Amino acid sequence: MRTITYLFFLLVFLILTTSEILALPRFSVRSGGQCIDCHVNPTGGQMRNLSGWKYGKNNLVMLQASDDEFESSPMLNENVSFGFDLRTQFLAKFDSVNKRSDFQNMASSVYFGAGLSETINLYARYDFTQGYYEGFVSAHIFPDNGYVKIGTFAPNYGIRIDDHTAFTRGGMFDPSIGGFNGWPFTPNYTETGVELGFYISDFAFITASSGSPAGQRFVKDPSYTASVQFTPQVSDEFSIMAGGSFASWKKGFAPNITDVTSFSGFGGVSFAGFTLLGEFTQAENLLFKDSTSSALMVEASYKIIKGLDGVVRYDMLTPVSGNTSKNISGLVLGVEFFPYSFVELKPQYRINTEDPKIDNNMFVLQFHIWY
């Protein structure tokens, strides 16, 4: 185990001292674009559109597949496409009681997209590992490609980083509260309802949605979520992003809790190959009744060479405002390696810093293949 830890820190040291360090941001911040530029879902994540598929095949990876050797496409015909995400992890725990390793099947999602007309699109997703479904119809009937979305989908809140263990997304499972100790936005959290999305040129993206979480029909009033994101074009080498989100639920996620409200502020900057993302979110009655909880996420990323990026992320959770003794924080050190088209290897070393006397760090190696 010590050998693995030593090799990992050596790798991180080499990354941080490489002379040609560049940054891995969320790709939209790096390019100065918006989620819809690469994804079927206007609010990002999951299935890639043809532009995003080509970017992942050719621009993101160290060695790209040649169409001369093997021609490929996500299009089944002119208007119908498919995709998938498969994620498997190797885990190694370094706590003082049990030093163990194991494998975990994280996700096995399949996607289906169809253009029903020039303005109406159908999207569906099913994850065989987690057993959850997402599907909606979006009609781009408003100016500047604005849309109305109807169906089952993830509400648009904050920054959608792909690691749900960040407290701003889902956090980790905590037996003391009978659920996750972060915000409810885990990969399998969806609501059934309607969402409106509006673009102000390339400068701003505004969404508002109302829906019911799974299993809550007629239990309480629908939830409400709104978000605004600004992406002003500064220059080809410098881009910024800033925004905020709001969400409210009449029925809480912990037992005997009602009237949950949450606010988030987030932003990002990318220049000279360096990217920094940050989000702070605060909620009333989220984890405990009559209490305020908050979470912080800060992520810095560096692109070493094409297909190899270094990532450092800091997470902090304050379950009860004013009681810092219950704070939980952690540091994630890792790399994202894209050796070939549609293949990603993501080694991470996770340092939990809630109490230096507690030895509960972890090494994670995730294998990700997508299409």
How many structural domains comprise the chain? 1
Q: Which alpha helices (H) appear in 235-360, and where do they start and end?
A: none
> How far, in Å, CA of 207 to CA of 225, rounded?
8
Tokens of 202: 């390339």
Asked whether 24 and 276 are in contact (CB, 8 A), the reply is no
Cα–Cα dist 188/186, whole Å: 5
Predicted confidence at residue 99, as pLDDT, reads: 79
The helix or strand, by DSSP H or E, that contains position 10, with its residue range, turns out to be helix 2-16
Per-residue model confidence (pLDDT) at position 128? 94
- How far apart are alpha carbons 251 and 17 in whole angstroms? 49
Show contacts of 185-189: CB within 8 Å, 24+ apart.
185/154, 185/155, 185/157, 185/158, 185/160, 187/107, 187/127, 187/130, 188/127, 188/130, 188/132, 189/154, 189/213
Tokens standing for 271?
């220049």
Give the CATH number, domain containing residue 73.
Answer: 2.40.160.10
| Measured distance between the N- and C-terminal CA atoms of the chain, rounded to whole angstroms | 34
At residue 268, the pLDDT reads: 93
* Whole-number Å distance between alpha carbons of 321 and 286: 12
Q: What is the pLDDT of residues 33-77, one digit of tens each?
A: 777 778 888 888 888 888 888 888 888 888 877 766 678 899 999
The pLDDT score that the predictor gives to residue 286 is 92
CA angle 179, 182, 186 (to 5 degrees): 80
At 326, give phi and psi (nearest 5°).
Answer: -95, 5
b/e for 65-74, b at 16 or more Cβ within 10 A? beeeeeeeeb
The radius of gyration of the chain from alpha carbons, rounded to an integer in Å, stands at 21
pLDDT tens, position by position, 251-270: 888 777 889 999 999 999 98
Give one DSSP letter per residue of 82-132, joined into a string.
EEEEEEEEEEEEEESS---EEEEEEEEEEEEEEE-SSSEEEEEEEETTTTE
Residue 159: per-residue pLDDT: 92
Listed as ranges, residues in the chain with pLDDT below 50 are 1-25
Q: Which domain holds residue 82?
A: 2-370
CB atoms within 10 A of CB 222: 18
Distance CA 33, CA 306 (A): 20
